[in-house]
Amino acid sequence: MNYGPNKNEKFPNKNLPNVCFIKNVITKPNIQVGDYTYYDDVDGADKFEEHVLYHYEFFGDKLIIGKFCQIASGIKIIMNGANHRMNSITTYPFNLMGNGWEKATPALEDLPFKGDTVISLSHCGRKPL
């Protein structure tokens, strides 16, 4: 006899449409989610990716979320793409404003890169799942 929800279902409990196993709704290759990790949101639990901000594939960072994690509604995960150039007189993103200022676009190597973002559940000092 099997116990527990099907880890491959989008909504593990049909009576709770605000709870979603997010692994089953991810479409972006730079987001990895473990089994049974869920997002709870009455405004669309299956829209988790909309809460991951400034996550551009060309930047190369990943969002990695382990198994059995709980993500609450309203979360905003800010990724490396939100970083500003730190080795100049200002951090103002002139290039985003256009009208000729796009010529000041910094190279990727000029932007601070903090690596992947990892969210995991750990047990008693063991490695994250």
Catalytic residues: 84
Report the C-alpha gap between 20 and 71 in whole angstroms. 10
Tokens in use for 38? 């869920």
Cβ atoms 24, 9 nearer than 8 A: yes
Tokens in use for 34? 């473990």
Sequence-separated contacts (24+) of 7-15 with Cβ below 8 Å: 7/35, 7/36, 10/46, 11/45, 11/46, 12/38
Considering only CA atoms, which of 66, 82, 49, 54 is closest in space to residue 119? 66
